[in-house]
């Protein structure tokens, strides 16, 4: 048996899937490396004017995200798929170069206000570059392939999320922080090139992949439609509205964890560099936990128990984690909670959630998905941040968060189970339509 056949058998790959999976994995590695090089500095800069200022930055980010959505929708409507993907990544790469030039040639202009601008910009950048990646995958792979392959492809992102902070720690001192922006722009540009390779790799689906024919699209075709079609599609579809509700709830709980982390880091360290280092360490060890889960359990759990189980697992894990944090209240408990949250979210729930988009129209994969993964996501940030701040002012702290998280997690888990079953029904409907056509 050849090495290629052994690799395919080990990771449950079928004929013609090894090359696109490798390219997609490397693509995601580049995207997450670019993000994670910058993330610790983003969080440290955001804390410079106090944690309360970050809550207002979340509102600014949500507003900017809503404003950017019709622009992205317009690109999707007017340009070919690879062209609007390249335009999106190119814009963010050029923005990084502009920030670098500002830091190098006009350092006197860099202050608290510009740090806040970078915080908002990065928060928008973070969502759009990952959204575009997963939208392309939902367009490139079928529903059946998504359930088998998305967890494997996500390993590339986890490796990038580990490599990014490590690279930043190695380069920041000898070369200076500004050069990290150029490295991030370089990885983003490399990711753009890999997107072109992924689309142009010849599709050679397995004979039993009955839904594959729906995903064979001509690159010369434009998607068309309105710039606001994604927003309208979400409110017109129970399925898409449920995905939006799942993402909103997930983000609210994740924001509770985020601000709990900031509160504890602020109490532990007052120096900017020390905070950056501590946040980077938390990120690195969290990603190691994600990688272990992805390599051992994720693919098997999704294949054996289905999307409904994978989507319901994160709410249950978060509820248990918050209860544990409220009981122990230690920094170690916080790290364990964040590692648990991100390990399950990125290692299992994210691939399952992205598989939900494989059974919707091509236009919705980019436009409706963009609205859900950016504006709805950031709306959850705002709601979570303001709720956490209100509970803090009322003196409820962790006990108050637990009283909110537990019932929220129950509704969240039920929604995940419904979505998993609805996706399966849609997949079966598409397969039956193909057989009778």
Show the domains of the chain with their CATH numbers: 13-203+227-435 (1.20.1250.20)
- Whole-structure pTM value: 0.81
Structure tokens at 90: 């190119």
Phi, psi of 222 (to 5 degrees): -90, 150
* 80 SS3 class: strand
Structure tokens at 42: 């983003």
pLDDT of residue 208: 44
pLDDT of residue 5: 62
**Is residue 405 packed enough to be buried (19+ CB in 10 Å), middle (13-18) or exposed (0-12)?**
buried
pLDDT of residue 251: 93
- The label of the residue with tokens 């029904």 reads 425
Whole-number Å distance between alpha carbons of 160 and 344:
17
Whole-number Å distance between alpha carbons of 73 and 234:
14
203: left (phi over 0), alpha (psi -120 to 50) or beta: beta
Each residue's pLDDT expressed in tens, for the chain with a length of 437 residues: 566 666 655 566 777 888 899 999 999 999 999 998 887 666 655 555 655 666 777 788 888 898 889 999 898 988 888 899 999 999 999 999 988 888 788 766 655 566 678 878 888 888 899 999 999 999 888 888 888 888 889 889 889 988 988 888 788 778 777 788 899 999 999 999 999 999 888 654 444 444 444 444 445 567 877 878 888 999 999 999 999 999 999 999 988 887 777 777 666 655 555 655 666 666 667 777 777 766 766 666 776 778 888 899 899 988 888 888 878 767 677 777 777 777 788 778 888 899 999 999 888 999 999 999 999 998 998 898 888 778 777 666 666 778 888 899 999 999 999 999 999 998 888 666 656 55
Whole-number Å distance between alpha carbons of 136 and 141:
9
Structure tokens at 286: 């969290």
Residues near 84 by Cβ (< 8 Å), separated by ≥ 6? 72, 75, 76, 78
pLDDT of residue 238: 95
- Which candidate, 377, 270, 378, 282, places its Cα nearest to that of 47? 270
> What are 222's strand-pairing partners?
80
pLDDT of residue 416: 95
Whole-number Å distance between alpha carbons of 259 and 342:
15
pLDDT of residue 205: 47
């Amino acid at each position: 048996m050849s090495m290629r056949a052994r690799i395919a058998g080990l990771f449950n790959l079928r004929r013609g899937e090894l090359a696109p999976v490798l390219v997609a994995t490397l693509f995601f590695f580049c995207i997450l490396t670019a993000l994670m090089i910058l993330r610790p500095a983003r969080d440290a800069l955001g804390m410079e004017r106090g944690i309360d200022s970050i809550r207002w930055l979340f509102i600014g980010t949500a507003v900017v995200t809503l404003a950017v959505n019709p622009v992205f929708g317009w690109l999707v409507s007017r340009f070919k798929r690879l062209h609007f993907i390249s335009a999106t990544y190119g814009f963010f790469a050029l923005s990084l170069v502009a920030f670098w030039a500002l830091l190098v040639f006009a350092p006197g202009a860099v202050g608290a206000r510009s740090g806040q601008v970078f915080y908002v910009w990065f928060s928008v950048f973070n969502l759009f570059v990952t959204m575009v990646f997963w939208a392309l995958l939902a367009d490139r792979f079928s529903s059946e392939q998504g359930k088998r392959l998305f967890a494997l492809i996500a390993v590339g992102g986890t490796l990038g999320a580990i490599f990014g902070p490590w690279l930043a720690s190695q380069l920041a001192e000898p070369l200076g922080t500004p050069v990290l922006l150029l490295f991030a722009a370089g990885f983003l540009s490399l990711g753009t090139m890999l997107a072109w390779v992924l689309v142009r790799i010849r599709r050679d689906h397995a004979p039993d992949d009955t839904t594959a024919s729906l995903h064979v699209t001509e690159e010369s075709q434009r998607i068309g439609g309105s710039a606001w079609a994604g927003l309208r599609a979400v409110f017109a579809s129970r399925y898409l509205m449920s995905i939006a509700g799942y993402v909103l709830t997930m983000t609210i709980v994740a924001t509770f964890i985020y601000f709990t982390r900031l509160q504890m880091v602020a109490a532990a360290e007052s120096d900017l560099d020390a905070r950056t280092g501590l946040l980077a360490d938390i990120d690195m060890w969290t990603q190691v936990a994600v990688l272990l889960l992805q390599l051992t359990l994720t693919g098997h759990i999704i294949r054996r128990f289905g999307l409904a189980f994978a989507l319901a697992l994160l709410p249950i894990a978060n509820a248990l984690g918050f209860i544990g944090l409220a009981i122990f209240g230690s920094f170690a408990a916080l790290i364990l909670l964040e590692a648990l949250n991100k390990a399950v979210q990125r290692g299992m729930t994210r691939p399952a959630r992205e598989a939900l988009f494989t059974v919707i129209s091509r236009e919705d994969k980019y436009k409706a998905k963009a609205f859900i993964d950016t504006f709805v996501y950031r709306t959850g940030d705002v709601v979570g941040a303001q709720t956490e701040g209100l509970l803090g002012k009322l003196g409820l702290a962790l006990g108050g968060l637990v009283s909110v998280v537990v019932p929220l997690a129950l509704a969240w888990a039920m929604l995940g189970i419904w979505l998993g079953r609805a996706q399966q029904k849609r997949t079966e409907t598409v397969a039956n339509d193909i057989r009778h056509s």
